[in-house]
Structure 1
Amino acid sequence: PKLIELVLLGCLCAHTPVIAQPATEFFAGRTVTILVGSGAGGTTDISARSIGQHLGRHIPGNPTVVVVNMPGGGSVTMTNHLYRSAPKDGTTLGYSLPGVVTAQLLEPRRARYDGREINWIGSALKYTGVVSVLSSAPATTLEEAKKTEVFIGTTGRGSPAHQFPAIVQALLDLRFRLITGYQSSSDVVLAMERGEVHGQSSSLQYWAISRPDWLTDGRVSHLLYVGPPDPLATPGVPYLGDLVTDPEDRALVDFIEISSRLGWPLFAPPGVPRARVEVLRQAFARLLEDPEFEADFEATVKGRLNPTTGADLTVFVQRALDTQDSTLEAAKTILSID
């Protein structure tokens, strides 16, 4: 009977396997959104937009790539959103400030994500962190800063821009007075121009973008650095790791360097199919080999590509999140974090 035939046909259809769309075809005709965990104009935003401009042509299917700013909490706001609320299909990615992993370590109640579960796509740039002061500051060397008070402007207490000078001050017994509450590194520079503070902690890339003339005319100098060295930009500048010998102090230096060695990472939320994550990682790897991207990136970011693959980032983050409790407690004490 016709009814039985229809029932049997329905049963056969119900058990026919659905052929999954290959990951290499998934992105065709779609839009990939990169959420940037900062406001407009800084290194994070500028580097994200350079990546966004060129990444689409390296993803199979050549999707449209758009960049959207979602500032707040040193990229914690964006990462919380990506981790908990964004689509888990590979069409929404995050691009954060370098402090996104240390935020999880120091303030897990605020940073409601787990870096072990995030799908790390890659990082185009690690950074050299510096504490810099005006040449007119009352102290322009570390030895002078042990005797004379220096006002250092910072953003929030959760940012590397605050954590670095705070821990340096404790390790080297410097007379830094940290002035918090500025909204950005650019605001701190304006405060330096007004005479409110003498210096700040930032990256070499920041100075090259925001005030290159200050570097060339000697208006600003670097007291010390952490992270990957830049021989062309830091000749004679002491490295913090060379100034400490105690193993516990060295562990704090390693903690500070989590951010600088992570750099500015691109990542996808948990739950994205593994094959799509690999497609994105391979696209990012091809991007790094693209001469047009390299020229644009280095012209706008004012720094040479210094990349890390997604696989290496995954290993690095896992090790960083295994930082010993004693080191974290020491850092929290210095930073006045409960």
Structure 2
Amino acid sequence: MKTYLNMTRRSALGVVAAGIAGVLVSAPASADVSFAGKTIEWIVPFSPGGGSGTMAAFMAPFLTKYLPGNPTVTLVYEPGGGSIKGSNMFAAVAKPDGLTILVTSGSTQFPYLLGDPRVRYEYADWHIAMAGPTGGVVYTSPSTGVTSPDDIGKLVGQKLVYASQGATSLDLVPLMGFRLMGLDVQHVFGFKGRADGRLAFERGETNIDYQTSSAYLKNVQPLVAEGKAIPLFSWGVLDEDGNPIRDPNFPDIPHFAEAYEKLTGKTPSGPEYDAYFAFFTAGFPAQKMVFLPKGTPQEIVDAYQAAFEAMKDDPEFQANAASAVGEYGHVTGKAADALFEKGTVIAPELRKQVVDMLTSEYGVKLGE
């Protein structure tokens, strides 16, 4: 499977065509879907090495195996703007022929939820092929004196530095979480992806970081084994009643609410926690989604959903999924629709609360 780091020639030509035509015309419907001899471009709007790219790289060979006609699937990395650049490109130029798909994450959803004017994509226009939750783990440098999650109190009063994709990206969750905890964290904005944040941590430029589960399992656990990173807490997952519990991938690591209680002696509550919890829910239980563009015929959507469903029963997929993407699973159909709604809808009052906080506390103006 080839990997390209820049916009392909076909996509570049699509930009020109979109500028001339201004409108995408739906491909004709066909009862017999086949991608034989075709190449599918999977747009990853981040730099290589992050959670979205890790998931796409793992799943791409299985899409080749289970999509009708066994097409070639290539990953096209389009980082920029915390995933806004690549998502805007997909919305503008992707044709509804099943040959271009997009993976999004909370970093794509949050600017949309906050009304960021840079966003030129509309989630409601797209067709969801697959959705899945994920998690993440916050870790720190041993230079802070922390040796285990039990030592999290040692961070209070220290100057911490975090490499952020931007205040309206998925990094909004750690920004709000660290604030709730009372930690003194300098957020350095402008990194293109969480993989870049991890590299900054490895270079010693930052001393606190987080990675989504797939990237943590692949890239950070070796650092933990070498004593170069100390896990602090996971974001956790939700039980059937919507309450936070420990992430099954990291049962020995406390979740955010547990870490908060250890630091403060209190259970998290109040308006600031409500806002944090809303974006956590949109960003993690409903984080990873794969889309086809506006106008895609239903039979093509069905073919993708069937392929994502079929791969779950593949012995090779089952043998490697946990280590590659974590034990969260993925869903299609009505279950995917439910996560789609959860990840792209937020109460107006919570949106306003967060926007006001970003403006007053961090000088962040949406679109800048």
* TM-score of the aligned structures, taking structure 1 as reference length: 0.82
Distance 2:206 2:29 in 1: 57
What is aligned with 1:127? Answer: 134
Q: Aligned pair 1:323/2:330, yes or no?
A: no
Q: Is the 8 A contact 2:55 2:325 kept in 1?
A: no
Partner of 1:89: 97
- Cα deviation for residue 280 of structure 1 reads 1.4
Partners of 2:320 and 2:231 in 1: CA distance = 27
Q: CA–CA distance in 1 between the matches of 2:205 and 2:92? A: 40
Q: Is the 8 A contact 2:281 2:343 kept in 1?
A: no
Q: Does 1:104 align with 2:112?
A: yes
Q: Report the equivalent of 1:260.
A: 284
Instruction: Give identity over the alignment, percent.
Output: 23
Which 5+ residue runs of structure 1 have no aligned equivalent?
A: 1-19
The alignment partner of 1:130 has SS state of strand
Q: String of CA shifts for 1:130-159, please: whole Å, max 9, x gaps.
A: 321112215674433333332223233332
Partner Cα separation in structure 2 for residue 181 and residue 76 of structure 1: 13
CA offsets 1:163-208 (integer angstroms, 9 cap, x no match): 1221013323222222333444344344334433211122233232
Q: Does 1:313 align with 2:323?
A: no
**Shift of residue 323 of structure 1?**
0.9
Q: Deviations over 1:228-281 (max 9, x none)?
A: 243452424243387412255224212123121223321101111122212211
Which has the larger displacement, 93-102 or 145-154? 145-154
Aligned to 1:200: 209
Alpha-carbon separation, structure 1, partners of 2:302 and 2:311: 14
Whole-Å Cα distance in 2 between the matches of residues 185 and 320 of structure 1? 20
Q: Which amino acid aligns with 1:73?
A: G
The residue type paired with residue 325 of structure 1 is: P
Say which of 131, 145, 150 aligns to 2:160. Answer: 150
Determine if contact 1:71/1:78 at 8 Å carries over to the other structure. Answer: yes
Query: How far apart are 1:82 and its partner, in Å?
Result: 1.8
Matched residue, 2:194: 185
What is the rounded CA distance, in whole Å, between the counterparts of 2:318 and 2:293 in structure 1?
26
Pairing 1:220–2:220 present: no
Residue 63 of structure 2 is aligned to residue 39 of structure 1:
no
Aligned CA distance change for structure 1 residues 57 and 174 (closer, same or farther; 3 Å): same
1:38 to 1:103, Cα distance in 2 relative to 1, 3 A:
same
Aligned to 1:287: 311
Which has the higher mean CA deviation after the structures are superposed, 61-70 or 240-249? 240-249
Distance across 2 between alignment mates of 1:278 and 1:81: 24
CA contact (8 A) 1:122 1:308 kept: yes
CA contact (8 A) 1:252 1:327 kept: no
The alpha-carbon distance between structure 1 residues 26 and 238, as it changes in their structure 2 partners (threshold 3 A), is closer
Give the aligned CA root-mean-square deviation in angstroms.
Answer: 2.7
Asked if the contact 1:96/1:264 (under 8 Å) is kept, the reply is yes
> Structure 1 residues 248, 23: closer, same or farther in 2, change over 3 A?
farther
Partner in structure 1 of residue 218 of structure 2: 209
The letter for the 2-side match of 1:113 is Y
8 Å Cα contact 1:35-1:68 kept in structure 2:
yes
Aligned to 2:256: 239
Q: Which has the larger radius of gyration?
A: 1
